[in-house]
Chain A
Amino acid sequence: MRPILLLAANFVRSQWTVLTIMLVYVVAMLGFIGLHEQRAEVLFFIRQLSFYAIFLATMLTIPVIQNERKSRRILAVLSKGIHRWQYLAGLLLGALLIVGAFCLAVTLATWWLARQASLPTAGLGAYMLVLFLGCAACAAVSLFSSVFLHPFVALPAAIIILFLPLALELRGVYPSSLLFPVSAITHVASDYTFQPPGTGLWRIGAAAAVQVIVFLALAAVIFAHRDITVTSE
């Protein structure tokens, strides 16, 4: 577990600028929305930042393997006595720490805004927890794609895996939200109204958690059998 924590902390350190920018954005939006404190503005705030959280999780993990390989920093890390799955788990955990910090900042900001606008906050914590699990699933799927695809291809591949139902719904096909939890979470986010969560939301959250484990395991199996370097010669 220690190597995973070390790698995660290292990932957070290397991405602190991204986290800072996102947190500054939350604070700036908070200041702007705080001037109005109306229901529509507060809902806009949380819905918009929910999508940003999903975007952040994907963007942190899609290029990470390619960057590590191109910079050759991966050599010094994987020459140590760690397994490749630990390396991937460390990167994923690092990304989730950043996304978690962002989600926490959004939760606190939304809670404050909701209190100012006299909106109910009972379901906020549960919603943010499920959103975080959705972000974790995004990160796991993105990491899975990036272990064997170039980021330019890995991104569309991850989007297809995560959001296929959104395209199918245009043709009147509605796949199970348990198979595509992130897609279902985006529906919840776009319609979020501060209502307490039903059992459906918890099931989607659980499905997202399962997706994290499945895709991390798949990524680990593929990564364990791939050449991670092409020689400079």
Chain B
Amino acid sequence: MTSPALEFDNITKQYRSFFHNESVKALDGFSLRVEQGEIFGFLGPNGAGKTTAIHIALGFMFPSSGRGLMLGRPFGHAATRRRVGFLAENVAFYHRPAGRLVRFYGALNGMHGPQLRSCTAELLKELELSEVAGRNASKFSRGMLQRVGLAQALVNDPELLILDEPTSALDPLGRITVREILLKARNAGKTVFLSSHLLSEVEQICDRMAIVIKGRVARVGTVSELLEAQNRFVITARGIDELLFEGTRQNGFIKITVPALGQRQAIEKIWLAGGEVIAVNPIRRTLEDLFVELAHKNGGPHTEKRRQ
């Protein structure tokens, strides 16, 4: 069994106010395992603790309790970060030309010489930044900055790519480009940890995902597992009287929604009525449905505050 790319083990992160009379739990017994070579979607409402988890993994913060591993080494291990690419939410850079910025961050990761120059040029081209590589990044739009951010995250050809809202400011073409880059990275055996509010994007490219609510993992699994776990089925039939069945008629077919336990009974009823069963499909919720359901079930999105 290979070691995970990222593993959070029962991590709690509690912020205290200056006078310690109020505390906020951003993460509360947070455990998660991200396997190598997968694109992992990391979802949750605002304030759920996603960014806190990412910052703890990268060593920007220390957990109040619990521990974790990144590429087999404890969180915060500097040498391990050389094998990781990170793009922060609300990315900010020094006021320097885009090309030099990417080279600067690559050099901080120990790259140099022709390898750094060629990797930078290649990435700038891929992210359609070649023409503006000489322009100061301080004059860039948010979308352009996000592209520069992706370039600096990818320049060291990382084994693990941690992206916090990487496409939030990109136009649709930019999103497609990023999607292609992420899929290419996955196909090359890299791991991508993708935090995003763009549910359609997560649904399209992620192998597995976790939904975080109030600092805990509320649900984790493959996209199909999570979306088909509703235990309701749609039976498509024809040749029956629609008045005998509660369903909707469409193009000569009747679609009947039944619970999993009533599936056999419904099929037999169709057959007895002389009908023909065309298909039985599990109901696939949208990710948005699941997200909203979990957020409501857990009493809203905000982090727990309590006075001590």
- On A, residues with C-beta under 8 Å from B are 2-3, 6-7, 10, 13-14, 71-73, 75-83, 225, 227-233
Contact = CB atoms under 8 A, between A and B. Distances in A.
B108 A6 contact: yes
A76 B88 contact: yes
B51 interface: yes
Interface in B40-93: 46-52, 55, 58-62, 78-84, 86, 88-93
A229 B55 contact: yes
B152 interface: yes
B299 interface: no
Specify which of A72, A78, A79, A232 lies most central, judged by the most chain B CB atoms within 10 Å of its CB. A79
17 contacts: A2-B110, A13-B94, A72-B91, A72-B92, A73-B93, A76-B93, A78-B58, A79-B81, A79-B86, A81-B81, A82-B81, A83-B78, A229-B61, A231-B26, A233-B47, A233-B49, A233-B52
B82 A13 contact: no
B96 interface: yes
Contacts of B46: 233
Interface in B158-187: none
Interface string B132-155: 000000000000000001001000
B52 A6 contact: no
Nearest to A69: B60
Nearest to A13: B96
B61 to A, nearest CB: 4
B105 interface: yes
A225 B62 contact: yes
A228 B105 contact: no
B266 to A, nearest CB: 45
Given A14-B95, A81-B82, A231 B52 contact: yes
Contacts of B273: none
- Which 7 A/B pairs are nearest by Cβ-Cβ distance? A81-B82, A79-B86, A80-B108, A227-B61, A231-B51, A75-B88, A72-B92
Contacts of B95: 14
Given A14-B95, A73-B92, A2 B78 contact: no
Nearest to B59: A78
A232 to B, nearest CB: 6
Given A3-B108, A79-B84, A231-B26, 10 more contacts: A7-B108, A10-B104, A14-B95, A78-B58, A81-B78, A81-B83, A81-B109, A227-B62, A233-B48, A233-B303
Interface of B: 15, 26, 46-52, 55, 58-62, 78-84, 86, 88-96, 104-105, 107-110, 112, 149, 152, 303
Contacts of B93: 73, 76
B60 A75 contact: yes
Contact of A6 (B48, B80, B104): B104
Nearest to B54: A231
A14 B101 CA distance: 13
B154 to A, nearest CB: 13
A68 to B, nearest CB: 10
A71 to B, nearest CB: 5
Contacts of B82: 80-81
Contacts of B83: 81
Contacts of A81: 78-83, 108-110
A225 B62 CA distance: 8
Given A6-B104, A76-B152, A233 B50 contact: yes
Nearest to B47: A233
Contact of B108 (A71, A75, A77, A228): A77
Contacts of B92: 71-73, 75-76
Contacts of B96: 10, 13
A19 to B, nearest CB: 15
Contact of A80 (B89, B91, B109): B109
Contacts of B110: 2, 81
Specify which of A2, A7, A72, A75 lies most central, judged by the most chain B CB atoms within 10 Å of its CB. A75
B61 A228 contact: yes
A228 B51 CA distance: 13
Nearest to A229: B60
A228 B83 CA distance: 21
Contacts of A80: 81-82, 105, 108-109
Contacts of B303: 233
Contacts of A73: 92-94
Contacts of B47: 233
